């Protein structure tokens, strides 16, 4: 066969063969092969012939899912402002996404209306990870812990959200210290005007503005309460039962996001919530330098933690793929439909004894742990932990690994 004929016979660039596909949007949980061509999903079928693909990666025993969507990260590492929380604590998206199965990250308000465009130019447009953003209602975003209400500007945020609607998916209120609702209300006003959700990091939990009021009265359906398992969120009453206001808020359409972070996840809240069936709408990390080197670690560990606590695997996958896509109104993402962008993860579920930590010295021991084996972003294999594919090195040419015509292997003179 000529090369041209061979190329024509190869319908697919990459084939993931033999995995268990879990795709919430398409209601799929079964063994399927997934083939990719030109950056999009080309086929999802029971048995695709490897001869039709340029590269076949066997994924037997792995769970094949849409590329993970982490709804809460901090990746504005280029603020250029000395001492700015967002700048000093943010990470580079590509440095942390793929190794955890993540193909889309949503920056949760690291930048505000005064510096969003710098964030876009220096991070969003330069990462290969898909980076979307919530704009902070405060001018410089998460520059410090103190949010000056004088710097809230709903009109400016709306204007930017419209101008950058390809990447802006919501508005953030965060780390607000004062005992009033001005930060939340300014974010909601902008969210209404721009028809996008807001995410609230309640910051300082104060008696003047109790959390139950935030979720049962203030937030709109489709708005997001992040840091759901934070220590100061009231979850269980004296008898250990979940407070009814939580179900009431969920019934209203308010969304609950994990946003694990450095100090926003306590076992005493997460364990009973999951045991009583109150699962997160979305699992997210609140990735930053302070959380990634602590109990949170990364997206796949945060998912593992929920799984180990009893959240069913299919729900864990849904809350990390299709659900976050719906929450940010990006329904083109988070599924493996033919024609959709080929963002894919192949994950392994390990059985054994695994410990998980929160930031306050608590340990939880569970029976499962997940790891990310393969990540595909827009059809390209960007993470391959177990180096599937490739060639046995002995089968390659004796001079492989040099640039032909540029580099020369010069042996030392014989002695
Ligand atoms: Zn955060």
Distance 301 CA to ligand 1 centre (A): 17
- Cβ 141 vs Cβ 173: under 8 Å: no
Distance 394 CA to ligand 1 centre (A): 48
Distance CA 402, CA 414 (A): 23
Q: Could you tell me the distance, in angstroms and rounded to a whole number, from the CA of residue 130 to the centre of ligand 1?
A: 18
Q: Quote the pLDDT of residue 290.
A: 94
140 C-alpha vs ligand 1 centroid, how far in Å? 15
Q: Ligand 1 centre and the CA of 286: distance in Å? A: 5
Alpha carbon distance 126, 180 (integer Å): 38
- Per-residue pLDDT band for 267 (boundaries 50, 70, 90) equals very high
Instruction: State mean pLDDT over 316-325.
Output: 98
Rounded distance from Cα 388 to ligand 1 centre (Å): 35
CA 38 to ligand 1 center in whole angstroms: 35
Residue 73 Cα to ligand 1 midpoint, Å, equals: 6
Whether 81 has a pLDDT exceeding 90, the answer reads no
The upper half-sphere exposure of residue 186, i.e. CA atoms within 13 Å in the direction of its Cβ, equals: 26
What is the structure's pLDDT at 50?
96
> Of residues 350 and 203, which shows the higher confidence score?
350
Q: What is the Å distance from ligand 1's center to 76 Cα?
A: 12
Q: What is the distance in A from the centroid of ligand 1 to the CA of 238?
A: 30
Mean pLDDT, rounded, of the chain? 95
Ligand 1 mean position, distance from CA 74 (Å) = 6
Other residues' Cβ atoms within 10 Å of the Cβ of residue 163: 12
Mind listing the pLDDT tens digit for each residue in 86-96?
888 999 999 99
Q: What Rg do the C-alpha atoms of the chain give, in angstroms? A: 23
Would you place residue 10 in the very low, low, confident or very high pLDDT band (cuts 50, 70, 90)? confident
What's the gap in Å between 203 CA and the centre of ligand 1?
A: 10
Instruction: Report the separation in Å between the CA atom of 117 and the middle of ligand 1, taken as the mean of its atom positions.
Output: 19
Q: Which segments within 59-187 are labelled E, that is strand?
A: 63-66, 68-73, 102-112, 130-136, 168-173
Ligand 1 midpoint to CA 265 (Å): 12
Q: What is the pLDDT of residues 184-231, one digit of tens each?
A: 999 999 999 999 999 999 988 999 999 999 999 999 999 999 999 999
- pLDDT for the residue numbered 82: 85
Q: Residue 107 Cα, ligand 1 centroid: separation in angstroms?
A: 8
Q: How far, in Å, is the centroid of ligand 1 from the Cα of 266?
A: 16
Q: What is the mean pLDDT of residues 45-54?
A: 97
Cα 306 to middle of ligand 1, angstroms: 19
For position 388, what pLDDT does the model report? Answer: 95
Q: Find the farthest-apart pair of alpha carbons in the chain and give their distance in angstroms, rounded.
A: 85
Chain segment 241-261, per-residue pLDDT in tens: 999 999 999 999 999 999 999
For the segment 137-181, what is each residue's pLDDT rounded down to a tens digit? Answer: 999 998 875 556 668 999 999 999 999 999 999 999 998 888 999
Residue pair 280/228 in contact (Cβ under 8 Å)? The answer is yes
**373-382 tens-digit pLDDT:** 999 999 999 9
Q: Considering the chain, what percentage of its residues have pLDDT values greater than 90?
A: 89
Confidence grade of residue 328 (pLDDT, cut at 50, 70, 90): very high
**What is the Cβ-side half-sphere exposure of residue 42, based on CA atoms within 13 angstroms?**
17
CA of 108 to the centre of ligand 1 (A): 6
Ligand 1 centroid – CA 169 distance (Å): 16
Question: What is the average pLDDT across 85-111?
Answer: 96
Its pTM stands at 0.96
How far, in Å, is the centroid of ligand 1 from the Cα of 26?
31
| Six token digits for residue 81 | 């402002």
321 CA distance to ligand 1 middle (Å):
19
Distance 98 CA to ligand 1 centre (A): 20
291 C-alpha to ligand 1 centroid (Å): 10
Reported as a pLDDT band with limits 50, 70 and 90, residue 326 is very high
Instruction: For residue 405, report the distance from its CA to the centre of ligand 1, in Å.
Output: 50
Tell me the mean pLDDT in the region 264-271.
97
pLDDT tier at 8, thresholds 50, 70, 90: low
């Amino acid at each position: 066969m000529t090369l041209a004929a061979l190329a024509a016979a190869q319908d697919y660039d990459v084939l993931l063969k033999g995995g268990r596909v879990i795709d919430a949007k398409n209601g799929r949980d079964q063994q399927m092969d997934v083939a990719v061509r030109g950056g999009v999903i080309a086929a999802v079928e029971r048995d695709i012939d490897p001869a039709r693909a340029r590269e076949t990666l066997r994924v037997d025993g792995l769970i094949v899912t849409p590329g993970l969507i982490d709804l809460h990260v901090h990746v504005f590492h280029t603020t250029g402002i000395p001492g700015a929380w967002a700048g000093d604590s943010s990470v580079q998206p590509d440095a942390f996404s793929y190794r955890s199965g993540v193909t889309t990250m949503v920056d949760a308000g690291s930048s505000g209306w005064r510096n969003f465009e710098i964030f876009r130019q220096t991070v969003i447009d330069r990462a290969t990870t898909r980076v979307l953003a919530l704009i902070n209602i405060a001018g410089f975003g998460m520059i410090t812990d103190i949010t000056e209400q004088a710097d809230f500007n709903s009109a400016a945020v709306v204007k930017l959200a419209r101008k950058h609607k390809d990447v802006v998916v919501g508005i953030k209120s965060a780390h607000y210290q004062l005992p009033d609702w001005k930060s939340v209300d300014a974010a909601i006003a902008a969210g209404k005007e721009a028809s996008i959700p807001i995410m609230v990091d309640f910051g300082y939990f104060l008696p003047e503005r109790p959390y139950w009021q935030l979720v049962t009265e203030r937030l709109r359906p489709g708005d997001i309460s992040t840091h759901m398992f934070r220590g100061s969120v009231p979850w269980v009453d004296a008898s250990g039962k979940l407070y009814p206001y939580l179900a009431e808020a969920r019934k209203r359409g308010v969304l609950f996001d994990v946003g694990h972070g450095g100090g926003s996840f306590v076992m005493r809240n997460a364990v009973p919530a999951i045991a009583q069936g109150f699962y997160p709408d979305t699992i997210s990390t609140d990735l930053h330098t302070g959380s990634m080197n602590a109990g949170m670690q990364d997206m796949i560990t945060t998912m593992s933690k929920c799984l180990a606590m009893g959240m069913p695997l299919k729900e864990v996958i849904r809350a990390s793929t299709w659900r976050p896509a719906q929450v940010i109104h990006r329904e083109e993402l988070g599924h493996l439909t033919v024609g959709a962008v080929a963002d894919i993860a192949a994950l392994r579920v390990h059985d054994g004894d695994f410990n998980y930590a929160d930031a306050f010295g608590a340990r939880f021991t569970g029976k499962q742990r997940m790891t990310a084996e393969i990540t595909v972003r827009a059809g390209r294999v960007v993470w391959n932990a177990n180096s599937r594919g490739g060639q046995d090195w002995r089968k390659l040419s004796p001079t492989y690994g040099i640039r032909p015509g540029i580099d020369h292997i010069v042996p030392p003179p014989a002695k």
